Amino acid sequence: MTPLDPARERTLGGVYAFAAYVLWGFMPLYFLVLAPMGPFEVVSWRILFSLIFCAVLLTVLRTWRKLIAILRTPRLVLWTIVAGILIYINWQVFLISTLTGHVIEGSLGYFINPIVTVLLGVLVLKERLRAAQWVAIGIAVIAVGVIVVGYGSFPWIALTLAASFGTYGLVKKQIGPSVDAVSGLTLESLWLAPIAIVQAIVVAVTGGLVLGTVSPGHTALVALAGVVTAVPLLFFAAGARRSSLTVIGLLQFVAPILQFITGAWILGEPMPLERWIGFSLVWLALVVLSVDSLRAARRPRRRNDADDVAPVV
């Protein structure tokens, strides 16, 4: 077997990760096409079709044994249940933000996510932060305050997205490489399937299901929700295995930037001065965090540095 070229593998990893973040960045446009379907029905079908697509992938890749091995480990099963709950919260809030004209606030959540990840490292893992990381957290807190006071509303969507996905990343860190991307998404979707079914029934009873009532094309797009969910995750997994955390950490800003562009320029959501100031402070915090991460990457990494990143979903 020909040995792998490390430089080529790193480059390929960057390409895979970049592709994942681009797909995540434009994901709001896909879900907007599903209108007039509401966010609760969309999440229901997203869970169920993700489960179906993952089952097909496991069959094609012949990796059912990996899934069975995970199910025989109670600790991993428990962690995947927790991960499923967190990703449900994240998906539901993300769909509410996308389908109710709050794409910009959703992008703010993913801008804040790296800072929340660092903060969780301190609160949960008892990691020690460098001075620059504390500065970044302080600036981010001020930014949220500016948005609350100046814009006149509490950014619950952004903070819920950041908190749910930051905690999701923490859970994934606890699981480690024991659960591969496809098996993880399969189990998370499996645990959420009963919730998705109940949610779909409630929607059917209270307002009626949209699936199958608009057009064959619309139905096909809804059915693709599983593919749309799984493909960027697989790209990210392939990229993360080949690239350094520094590269992944810098590329993660591609998705919220594209979401911000989608909300502000494509969808025309309002951006008053107060919101620009708040976002600018968040971006300043991210610059501080990124520069500090680059400097730290040039030095021997210390075990207590809290600079891990989680993917955007």
Considering only CA atoms, which of 188, 187, 227 is closest in space to residue 67?
187
Considering only CA atoms, which of 72, 70, 82 is closest in space to residue 179?
70
The domain tally of the chain equals 1
Q: Which domain holds residue 289?
A: 6-297
Residue 110 belongs to a domain? yes
Two tokens, residue 40: 């609760």
Residue 1 belongs to a domain? no
Residue 40 belongs to a domain? yes
Contact predicate 70/179, CB 8 Å: yes
Residue 310 belongs to a domain? no
Residue 305 belongs to a domain? no
Find tokens 């950014």 and name the residue.
155
CA angle 162, 186, 164 (to 5 degrees): 10
* 163/313 Cα distance (integer angstroms): 13
Residue 307 belongs to a domain? no
pLDDT (0 to 100) of residue 300: 56
pLDDT (0 to 100) of residue 241: 75
pLDDT (0 to 100) of residue 2: 54
208 burial (CB, 10 Å; 0-12 / 13-18 / 19+) is exposed
What are the tens digits of pLDDT across the range 184-222? 999 999 999 999 999 999 999 998 999 999 999 999 999
Residue 279 belongs to a domain? yes
Residue ranges of the chain with pLDDT lower than 70?
Answer: 1-4, 151, 245-246, 299-313
Residue 309 belongs to a domain? no
- pTM (2 d.p.): 0.87
- Which of the 8 DSSP states describes residue 35? T
Cα Rg of the chain, angstroms? 20
Contact predicate 257/25, CB 8 Å: yes
pLDDT (0 to 100) of residue 302: 47
pLDDT (0 to 100) of residue 115: 87
